[in-house]
Amino acid sequence: MAQILTITLNPTVDLSTSAASVTPGPKLRCTTPEADPGGGGINVSRAIRFLGGESTAFTAVGGETGALLLRLLAEERVRFTAFSVSGGDTRQSMAITDQSTGEQYRFVMPGPYWNHDMVDESLNAIAAAATVGGIVVLSGSQPPGVPIDYTARLSRRLSAHGIQLFVDTSGAPLHELVKHPANPYVLRMDDVEAEDLAGRALPTRTDTADFAQALVERGVAENVIVARGSDGSTLANATGRWHASRAIDPADVVSAVGAGDSFVGAFSMALTRGDTFQQALCFGTAAASAAVLTAGTQLCSAQDVARLLPGCVLVEV
């Protein structure tokens, strides 16, 4: 089985709690917080671990919060490679649920600043840690100071060594990747990001598939995946376009946190065990659906994925 290396440049210690109601002014008495290791790539590795797979989480860490992050990863038995940064402490994030409404408020800090040397050193360290023939997953936000063409630099570095790059990014780095294509193996985004890039609404699966296919034809990525929220995910590549969906009762949704990372983890895991892209799309969709059934940052469970997978509907678009 090909090995998976996940990359988290801007990890976080995720704190989740709840209060009777969230209103401005008075002190809000919260329940006992739960702390989890977080950040895109880390959550992808956690999801893979929860599903019974293996990966290595390459994560930047700094200060006392960084040390806590590594302890939390060790407690979950997630294998990791730490990359030390000097621009400040690893960030913290917080999710607070209003018990009276069920609404969740998420507060995300910026993270430590990276200088030019740290950027170059990280590219060298990732290339050294990656396995030839394996998959590298770059997921999550970039810390301050990291250039917007970082993904393209990493893609070129890895492709020269026969390593496949799966990118799940957003904002300026995503726009840069589309503007100056570097053709990673897989590019994933959500529907809001896709509509922002397209400059128009993408109300139907066909609209989404057309957009994804256009990116493939331009060389933006070999395979493009667009998540359509509760409707599932659409995949396009040079050989076809497919959509996978799994109906979830809205009343069963507990938290949307981690659905995307669960999808990426399951999809990558499926590819490394030899599944087809269609099978990987269904496995990822089932994992994303399972994630919304859990509270806080718990991600997906193997039991829920196994239960939901048979009900996944795959269609050509």
Which residues are annotated as catalytic? 261
CA nearest neighbour of 161 among 132, 185, 181, 189: 132
Residue 203 to residues 113, 247, 301: CA-CA distances in angstroms?
38, 18, 30
CA 127, CA 123: separation in Å to the nearest integer? 6
Output Rg (C-alpha) for the chain, integer angstroms. Answer: 19
170 alpha carbon, distance to own chain's centre: 10
Question: What element of type H or E holds 112?
Answer: none
> For helices 171-179 and 150-159, what crossing angle results, to 10°?
60
Give the strand pairing for 56-61 and 34-38: unpaired
∠222-227-233 over CA atoms, to 5°? 80
Query: Which residue type sits at 63?
Result: G
Query: Which residue type sits at 255?
Result: S
CA 107, CA 116: separation in Å to the nearest integer? 28
Burial (Cβ within 10 Å: 0-12, 13-18, ≥19) of residue 226:
buried
What would the two tokens of residue 98 be? Answer: 């209003």
CB 55 within 8 A of CB 6: yes
Give the three-state DSSP class for 188. strand
Query: Which residues are 313's β-sheet partners?
Result: 245
Query: Which residues are 235's β-sheet partners?
Result: 225, 242
